[in-house]
Amino acid sequence: MPQLIKKLSTRAREALANTTGKSRSNTEVLRAFKRFRKVEEARLRMLHRAGGSGMEICRMRSDLIDAVLKHLWHEMLLGADAGMLAKTKISLVATGGYGRRQMNPGSDVDVLFLLSGNSSQSPAGLAQLVSSFLTMLWDSGFKVGDSSTRSVGETIKQANSDNQVKTALIEARLVSGDPEPFAELEQRFDKECMDGRDIEFLQMRQKDLAERHAKHEDTASVQEPNVKNGCGGLRDYHNALWMSYAKYRTIDLKEIVKKAEFPATSLKDMERAYDFILRVRTEMHYIEKRESDVLTLRLQGVVATNLGYRQKKILNRIEVFMRDYYMHSSNMLHRCSELMDRYHLQAVENGKPSLVARLLRKTVPKVEKFDGFVAKNDRLYAEHPKIFVEDPPRLMRLFVHTQQRHLRLSPELFHLVQQSWALINITFRYNKAVRESFEAILSQRGDVSRVLRQMHRVGFLGRYMPEFGALTCLVQHEFFHRYTADEHTLRTIDKMDELADATPQKGMELYKRLFREMQEPYIMYMALLLHDSGRALNTNTHTDASAELANRVCRRLQIKGSRRQLLMFLVDHHLTLYRTATTKNLDDPKVVSEFAGIMRNKQNLDALLVMTLADSRGTSDKSWNSWKESLILHLYHNTVRYLNDPSDFISSITAPLEELQGEVRKKLDSYYEREIAAHFQHMPRSYFNFRSPDIIAFHIEAFRGFFRNVAKGTSQEDLLPALTWVEHPEQGCSELIVCCWDRHLLLARIAGALAAQNINILSADLYQRSDDVVLDVFRVCRTDFSPVTNERTKARVESSVKTSFETGEFDFSQAIQENRRSLKGLEDVAAEVPQRVYINNDLTTDYNVIEIQALDRIGLLYDIFMAIGQLGLNICHARINTEKGVALDAIYIQDKAEQKVTDKDVLKELQAQLEEAVFSFGRQNSSGMLALRR
């Protein structure tokens, strides 16, 4: 490294030095500096792509900037006012990231022009000199960040009023100019900025860290991590440097190791992580050609490829790369938290409690000894280093103690557990006492996740439960999953814990009651712990693999009888309720009866409902919304009715409709009598199942609007559909109600008009009356999952539908294409997302059911409806669903005679047309366009 720096200095001198002793023109200077920067940046890029260390490349870039600034400053001084320079001493000081010599390609150059003394007055002519210098620096291609001209006194004053300035100055260093002002700053900084303020500074850093982590979901395992400010990102490492300076006046963490304040192994983990993340950020900047901190889905595949990951398929490449990233960022997060905890405990021991403790007015707890442990300061310590060798089951009991006494592992005990990993062997996993302690932990309803996270953080949980351990930092095969597999699993347990909270929560009453009434919380938590375990086996259906692993755990942990049956049922069917509710026709009594047959009893159904809630809410914030919940509860309540009395349930939905018709009459005035009669006469019987009188009345009013248009319109206008919009902000969607004569390609026109306005279709209920009119109810939303409220947007949809009928020929492809976002880098990924088109001819006797799994995109339904409509087939019902960025649609069809399609040639052609509609997008790279939502 020193040799490389020496060579850089030589090249800079040869390329940039002004040997004439006279000021050159700006054009001459810029030409030389731009050429030098271009050559040196190309050299750095080659070193980076050849596998250069992240820290070394960043230091070399910092040295490159140093060389430029030194020569540029000298160039500027040649043309400056000699009188002003004779009276003024100026230090050119690097601060922030530039000060610590860690510069990625797009990083800001933060420079301080430092003057001696305390004066706030700058010498005449200095402002012009600084402005010219910064302008030349910009024009040379460097991104100038925070730059200011201040005296030492002003700098000290600002640092004491702005902690961001203070942290930037901690790593300040002299680049060029007169060394005297900088020497004065070094002499005064600790005395005036840090001495006596160190505890306050540490508390501020602790608060900043907590707020930043909360902003980024308190986990390093998010789908699109922020490599700088996210949990386990670069800023965590910087925070450790600043805290160490406040504590020991050093930013060299090796000095902390020497003082026995931090284990050398922990520092190695941090430095490896820091180097890896710096390298990733450097690559991101090269790809984006600017500063970039969010490792987006679009970037992940490109970064993985450029960093040398060689898996054949890009999805596998991304999974391996992101697993490495999550491992390093998790290590960074945990090691930095450990260092902070050590500093916090030292402050407590010295009688200086943290800000949080003071605000809560906590008293220092008494020291308590038990079972080989010592409890003090809300932490658990070991009495001596051999406690686990003496009694291996203590490894599990220590977590029982942390749960019962609400303790955390001390940093020393944390390392002792990690040093004892070898004790967690097959004998340990089959040990009865260990097994009983683990069951006790998982039986504490409402306080399980906290303990499991401690187990996972220290590496214990994955070794005791290898089925879970295989999920650690695993990127899920559903490419658009929000978290890694282990983090998702723990978040589902977070959500289960929340149900034990007695605090009333609107909308959660049913789930909380069911969870409180359950006799086996241990089995519920165990089911969540294992429900996605099969993902690590990389099989086509992870549920089957998860069930096999759950069966193995049952044998090892001696889970038998009804407990085993419930656990196996929940793992095997953890997606059944959700998928049935969101993909099947819930108006069909056969769907309810078949689902009830799978459930077998209400205990299974109740447990599955609670598990479905936890699983969905643990997937992402958007995976559980009012619309999906309404479908799930609709199926749940009807299944409860069926399980209580199947015959009563069937009779209730097949009973004469006179009573329901009477309720509808009460909602409408007498002028609707004939329309009510026609509606009940011509609508299919399934329409009236589970539908309230209010909704039926509203639909009859919508039909009246359509027939009024027919009565007063021209021959062309009376063929146009009537569109009615209803907003449901509490469900995050709107309803679009379409009344029309049964017309060819009606659904394709509606779907195309919606897609052209960037509107998602969440679901579609499609009904055809026997008098040749149709009622289609679409639940739609914007791409941000908000209702469609803009009147101009609605008007454009209606105008597009009208135009499509009036012109006869229509094609929404171009308009849809313009709405798709350009996501260069994901085209290859699109081709590898598991996609399929399956025509199920056995699911029902009345319909063929098209089952589609495809990468979601704007206009997908338009393409599908066009393929079906062009073959002259009727779409009778559709369940539209998007799960983790993948469209999971079920479309029920019949032929023109309203019969199930049996012609093999027609079915073969349908299969081909649908595959072309769904798969062709992944093959079309020419557009470079991809959208994650319809």
pLDDT digits (tens, 9 = 90+) for 678-688: 999 999 888 88
Give the chain's mean pLDDT. 87
- Residue 365: which pLDDT band, with cuts at 50, 70 and 90? low
**Three-class secondary structure of residue 779 per DSSP:** strand
Selection from 476, 600, 593, 452 nearest residue 528 by Cα? 452
- Please list, residue by residue across 73-99, b when 16 or more beta carbons sit within 10 angstroms of its beta carbon and e when fewer do: bebbbeebbeebbeebbbbbbbbbbbb
**Cβ(930)–Cβ(297) below 8 Å:** no
C-alpha to C-alpha distance for 551 and 390, rounded to whole angstroms: 32
Kindly calculate the radius of gyration of the chain based on its CA atoms and give it in whole angstroms: 34
C-alpha to C-alpha distance for 334 and 328, rounded to whole angstroms: 10
- 90-94 and 173-177 beta bridge pairing: antiparallel
- pLDDT-wise least confident of 671-675, 725-729, 818-822: 818-822
**Cβ(110)–Cβ(146) below 8 Å:** yes
Over residues 3-28, the pLDDT tens digits come to: 666 688 889 888 888 877 777 888 88
Cα 263–chain centre separation = 33
Selection from 917, 910, 915, 852 nearest residue 880 by Cα? 852
Highest mean pLDDT among 10-14, 119-123, 687-691: 10-14
- Residue range 384-395: average pLDDT? 96
pLDDT for 931:
28
C-alpha to C-alpha distance for 320 and 693, rounded to whole angstroms: 55
CA atoms within 13 A on the CB side of 529: 28
C-alpha to C-alpha distance for 719 and 808, rounded to whole angstroms: 12
- Residue range 835-862: average pLDDT? 85
pLDDT for 559:
96
C-alpha to C-alpha distance for 802 and 193, rounded to whole angstroms: 71
Selection from 787, 801, 767 nearest residue 699 by Cα? 767
C-alpha to C-alpha distance for 398 and 373, rounded to whole angstroms: 8
**Three-class secondary structure of residue 378 per DSSP:** coil
823 vs 234, more confident: 234
pLDDT for 438:
97
Q: Return the amino acid letter for 294.
A: V
Residues 407, 412, 415, 421, CA torsion sign: negative
pLDDT for 933:
26
- Residue 351: which pLDDT band, with cuts at 50, 70 and 90? low
**Cβ(780)–Cβ(734) below 8 Å:** yes
Residue 823 pLDDT > 50? no
Selection from 607, 265, 326 nearest residue 476 by Cα? 326
**What DSSP character marks residue 558?**
T
6 CB-contact burial (10 Å; exposed 0-12 / middle 13-18 / buried 19+): exposed
**Three-class secondary structure of residue 852 per DSSP:** strand
Q: What is the DSSP string of 82-125?
A: HHHHHH--EEEEE-HHHHTT---TT--EEEEEEESSS--PPPTT
pLDDT for 342:
87
Q: Which helix (H) or strand (E) holds 317?
A: helix 314-349
Q: In 249-313, where does DSSP find H-type helix?
A: 253-258, 264-288, 297-306
Q: Tell me how crowded residue 520 is: count the other CB atoms within 10 A of its CB.
A: 16
Over residues 536-553, the pLDDT tens digits come to: 887 767 889 999 999 999
Q: What are the backbone dihedrals phi and psi of residue 508, each rounded to the nearest 5 degrees, phi first?
A: -105, 5
pTM as predicted: 0.82
pLDDT for 226:
95
Token digits of residue 604: 């299974």
**Three-class secondary structure of residue 724 per DSSP:** strand
**Three-class secondary structure of residue 711 per DSSP:** helix
Residue 923 pLDDT > 90? no
C-alpha to C-alpha distance for 467 and 534, rounded to whole angstroms: 8
Residue 176 pLDDT > 80? yes
pLDDT for 824:
47
**Cβ(543)–Cβ(572) below 8 Å:** yes
Residue 350 pLDDT > 50? yes
Over residues 285-320, the pLDDT tens digits come to: 999 999 999 998 889 999 999 999 998 888 889 989
Q: Measured between alpha carbons, how far is residue 835 from residues 390, 575, 921, 922, 929 in Å?
A: 54, 18, 11, 10, 18
Residue 927 pLDDT > 60? no
Over residues 460-518, the pLDDT tens digits come to: 999 999 999 999 998 865 545 678 999 999 999 999 999 998 888 888 999 999 999 99
Percent of the chain with pLDDT over 90: 58
Q: Would you give the end-to-end CA distance of the chain in angstroms?
A: 52
- Residue range 445-466: average pLDDT? 96
Over residues 854-877, the pLDDT tens digits come to: 877 778 889 999 999 889 998 887
C-alpha to C-alpha distance for 347 and 605, rounded to whole angstroms: 52
Tokens 């050559």 sit at which residue?
39
Three-state secondary structure of 38-88? HHHHHHHHHHHHCCCCHHHHHHHHHHHHHHHHHHHHHHHHHCCCHHHHHHC
- 773-782 and 836-840 beta bridge pairing: unpaired
571 vs 622, more confident: 571
CA atoms within 13 A on the CB side of 326: 25
**Three-class secondary structure of residue 311 per DSSP:** coil
- pLDDT-wise least confident of 103-112, 588-597, 609-618, 806-815: 806-815
Residue 718 pLDDT > 70? no
C-alpha to C-alpha distance for 572 and 502, rounded to whole angstroms: 30
- 848-855 and 886-894 beta bridge pairing: antiparallel
Token digits of residue 10: 């030589």
Residue 904 pLDDT > 80? yes
C-alpha to C-alpha distance for 208 and 199, rounded to whole angstroms: 14
**Three-class secondary structure of residue 177 per DSSP:** strand
Q: What are the backbone dihedrals phi and psi of residue 421, each rounded to the nearest 5 degrees, phi first?
A: -55, -35
**What DSSP character marks residue 534?**
G
